[in-house]
């Protein structure tokens, strides 16, 4: 659940950056060119920071226990975040950045397992258990409702 | 009816027990690396500890991995704050000395550490036969998918990662892996080891850096 919440937060930050875009475009048209450039730089920096946070939230810290590189204060995590930022700045997509880390550390580096092979069990298990639970409830209710007339009878 | 309930409960428990049984056979600290079999990530890193002759390289010069192609490379990531690195240091250093005349390069890579304590550590450990380079931003370590130190990568003559050792390396592993990689080299490459800077993938520094502080 935690990565999903982080992704939602990151998406919210990205959305906020997107909302801010028109005002910066207007500022670029203003005669004060230097100020406009500074604002453009700030915007791209914030968008880059949001994207870096989004990708980093999905990558596991190699020297921690179940923590993302976004949340970890470790030196290695900070260095990995630097690489995420550098690659995004260089024009790579979020998927390409994640693919880079998978090529180095394997799929283990992804906090959310990829839905293929044995991992499918992880995704299917909650639904299977839910169905099994519903089945148990249905059987139990039928049993109880079938017994009631007997116990209420003369 | 009780036997039926017991059978259903057992059937439900079997996959869970099987999953746990399978999980307990795995060492959570031993995460398989995707690197063995792939091309070793290239790097150019500065020497901060020269090592001893005949493997010595000048401090401040840059080692390019790509230029070591054609010979075996043993890449050992270490740090002065790493306790396990103490366990393997003597073994690794003595093995490197024993193989000094063979077509194999030993290279230490400093990970998340500063050079002054690292130089002090080498001195405290009684020296290091092979040179060490400094991976200041840990980009090389991350390129190799490093989890922690020590980790040792064995690179074959074609520049591919042949084997990765997580944790301290021992003489048995060193002998087995290095011998097999040397045996796989083309006949011409199995001659004497490389001792001069040019053949060791070195770029001389414009100005010689002070010893122990690049």
Which residues from B are below 8 Å from A75, CB to CB?
A: 112, 138
User: What is the SS3 assignment for chain A?
Assistant: CHHHHHHHHHHHHHHHHHHHHHHHHHHHHCCCHHHHHHHHHHHHHHHHHHHHHHHHCCEECCCCCCCECCCCCCHHHHHHHHHHHHHHHCCCCHHHHHHHHHHHHCHHHECCCCCCHHHHHHHHHHHHHHHHHHHHHHHHHHHHHHHHHHHHCC
pLDDT band at B8 (very low <50, low <70, confident <90, very high): confident
Q: Domain A2-112 class?
A: mainly alpha
Q: What is the pLDDT of residues B30-70, one digit of tens each?
A: 778 999 999 999 999 999 999 999 999 999 999 999 999 99
Residue contact B142–A83, C-beta within 8 A: yes
Q: What is the pLDDT of residue A88?
A: 95
So what's the pLDDT on residue A146?
A: 79
Residue B145 near chain A (CB below 8 Å): yes
Lowest mean pLDDT among A11-25, B143-157, B184-198: A11-25
- What's the pLDDT score for residue B197? 47
Domain ranges of chain A: 2-112, 114-154
- Model confidence at B191, pLDDT cuts 50, 70, 90, reads low
CA dist B105 and B86 (Å) reads: 21
Measure CA A6 to chain center: 5
Q: Is A124 an interface residue toward B (CB < 8 Å)?
A: no
Decide if pLDDT at A151 tops 80: no
Pairing relation of β-strands B44-49 and B132-135? antiparallel
pTM above 0.90, yes or no: no
Are the Cβ atoms of A62 and B144 closer than 8 angstroms?
Answer: no
Which residues, numbered 76 to 95 in chain A, qualify as contacts with chain B under a Cβ-Cβ cut-off of 8 Å?
A: 76, 79-80, 82-83
Stretch A108-129: mean pLDDT, rounded? 87
Query: Which range (B18-32, B126-140, B163-177, B195-209) has the least confidence?
Result: B195-209
What are the start-end ranges of the H helices in B31-114?
83-98
Nearest-angstrom CA–CA distance, B68 and B72:
8
The 3-state DSSP class for residue B7 equals helix
pLDDT in tens, B152-177: 999 999 999 999 999 999 999 999 99
Chain mean pLDDT for chain B: 88
Quickly tell me which residue has 């690396």 as its tokens. B33
Q: A23 pLDDT exceeds 70?
A: no
Q: What percent of chain B has pLDDT over 70?
A: 86
**CB contact at 8 A, A52 and A59:** no
Q: How far apart are CA A74 and CA B81, in angstroms?
A: 15
Kindly identify which residue of chain B lies nearest to residue A86, measuring between CA atoms.
Answer: B139
Sketch the domain layout of chain B as residue ranges: 44-203
Assign a CATH topology to domain B44-203: Glutaredoxin (3.40.30)
Give yes or no for a contact between A133 and A81, defined as CB atoms under 8 angstroms apart: no
Least confident of A25-29, B28-32, B136-140: A25-29
Average pLDDT, chain A: 76
Torsional sign, CA B53, B56, B58, B59 = negative
- As for the ipTM of the complex, it is 0.81
B95 phi, psi to nearest 5 deg: -65, -45
A4 vs B2, higher pLDDT: B2
Out of A74-88, A130-144, B67-81, least confident range: A130-144
Mutate to test the interface with B, among A74, A79, A81, A129 (most CBs of B within 10 A): A79
The minimal CB distance from B145 to the residues A63, A104, A132 is found for A104
Confidence label for A38 from pLDDT (cuts 50, 70 and 90):
very low
Segment A82-102 shows an average pLDDT of 95
Average pLDDT value for residue range B129-152: 96
Which of the pair, B200 or B149, is modelled with greater confidence? B149
Q: Please give the torsion angle defined by the CA atoms of residues A28, A33, A36 and A41, in that order, rounded to the nearest 10 degrees.
A: 110
Give the single-character DSSP code of B43: -
Sort out which chain B residues have CB atoms less than 8 A from A62's CB and list them: 146-148
- The band of A149, judged by pLDDT with boundaries at 50, 70 and 90, is low
- What local confidence, expressed as pLDDT, does residue B1 receive? 58
């Amino acid at each position: 659940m935690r990565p999903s919440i982080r992704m939602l937060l990151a998406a919210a930050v990205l959305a906020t950056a997107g909302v801010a875009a028109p005002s910066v475009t207007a500022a670029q048209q203003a005669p004060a060119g230097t100020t406009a450039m500074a604002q453009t730089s700030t915007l791209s920096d914030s968008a880059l920071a949001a994207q870096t946070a989004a990708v980093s939230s999905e990558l596991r810290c190699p020297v921690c226990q179940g923590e993302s590189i976004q949340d970890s204060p470790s030196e290695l995590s900070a260095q990995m975040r630097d690489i995420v930022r550098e690659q995004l700045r260089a024009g790579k997509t979020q998927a390409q950045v994640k693919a880079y880390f998978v090529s180095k550390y394997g799929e283990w580096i992804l906090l959310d397992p990829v839905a293929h092979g044995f991992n499918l069990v992880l995704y299917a298990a909650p639904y299977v258990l839910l169905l099994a639970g519903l089945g148990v409830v249905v059987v139990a209710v039928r049993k109880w409702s079938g017994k009631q007339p007997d116990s209420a009878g003369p | 009816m009780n036997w039926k309930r017991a059978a259903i409960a057992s059937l439900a428990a079997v996959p869970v027990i099987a999953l746990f049984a399978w999980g307990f056979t795995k060492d959570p600290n031993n995460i398989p690396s995707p690197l063995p079999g792939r091309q070793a990530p290239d790097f150019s890193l500065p020497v901060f500890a020269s090592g001893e002759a005949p493997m010595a390289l000048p401090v401040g010069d840059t080692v390019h991995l790509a230029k070591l192609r054609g010979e075996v490379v043993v890449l050992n990531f270490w740090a002065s704050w790493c306790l396990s690195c103490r366990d393997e240091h003597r073994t690794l250093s003595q093995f490197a000395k024993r193989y000094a005349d063979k077509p194999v390069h030993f290279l230490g890579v400093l990970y998340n550490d500063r050079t002054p304590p690292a130089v002090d550590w080498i001195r405290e450990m009684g020296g290091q036969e092979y040179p060490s380079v400094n991976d200041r931003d840990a980009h090389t370590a991350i390129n190799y998918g490093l989890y922690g130190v020590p980790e040792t990568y064995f690179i074959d003559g074609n520049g591919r990662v042949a084997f990765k050792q997580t944790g301290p390396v021992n003489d048995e592993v060193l002998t087995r892996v290095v011998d097999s990689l040397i045996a796989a080299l083309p006949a011409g490459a199995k001659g004497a080891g490389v001792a001069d800077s040019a053949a060791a993938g070195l770029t001389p520094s414009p100005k010689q850096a002070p010893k122990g502080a690049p």
